[in-house]
Structure 1
Amino acid sequence: MLPGEEAIMEGLRVYLLPDGREESSGGLLGGPPFLPAEGAIFLTNYRIVFKGTPCDPFACEQLVVRSFPVTSLTKEKRVTVQYLAHLDQWLQEGLQLRSCTFQVSDVANSPSLYPYCSRS
């Protein structure tokens, strides 16, 4: 955490879903895909932070971190029904977070994930 930053909410277990950017998919550059990733989303007085690991077993030792300032959040939109092939699971509800810093985060909660986790 940054100096002066305080946690507002404990971590909520979520999946970070692919959002269409090629860098995260491993496609053109080669290598394993980093998204979807399983982890937690945290809310602080300054940022929204996702920390997790890729669901791909060949990339699972990597750490996926996405964050953007809370004040840059411009739109949150409900996303319905997503299919995660690697888990063979349908996610019923999700949220797309857009910021004015040109970042998009698609997150979804699953019944198999418990709603609380500790910060690491």
Structure 2
Amino acid sequence: MQGLPPEALDQVAAYFQALSEPTRLQILNMLRGGELNVGELAQACGYTSANISRHLSMLMRHGLVARESRGTAVYYRIADESVYALCELVCGNIARQLDRSAADRKAFGRAGATTGTPRR
């Protein structure tokens, strides 16, 4: 991102915003197994078709999913597989942070036990 003009940074922020909603992440996870139509996604997610369509529209705008019409149904698939590598990177980072927090809490608990400080 170094050296990008503000307009480009706006586009990067919008891309991350598309990934910032749990329902959209759920949709991306479901499409990992193959293409699905709006009704199938709605049923699997437990949301209305209108809600899923709105999320799919955002994902399409950012090039994350693609659509294909087949008769009266529209099927969606992942358009950019690299989104999964990005998500794995973020998940790994979160896991490491949680591990560090757990180790810190554990060390704090040991310190309280050795100093006689009551633990909560």
TM range (shorter): under 0.3
TM-score (norm 2): 0.22
Between structures 1 and 2, the one with greater helix share:
2
Q: Which has the higher contact order (CA 8 A, sep 6+)?
A: 1
Between structures 1 and 2, the one with greater strand share:
1
TM-score (norm 1): 0.22
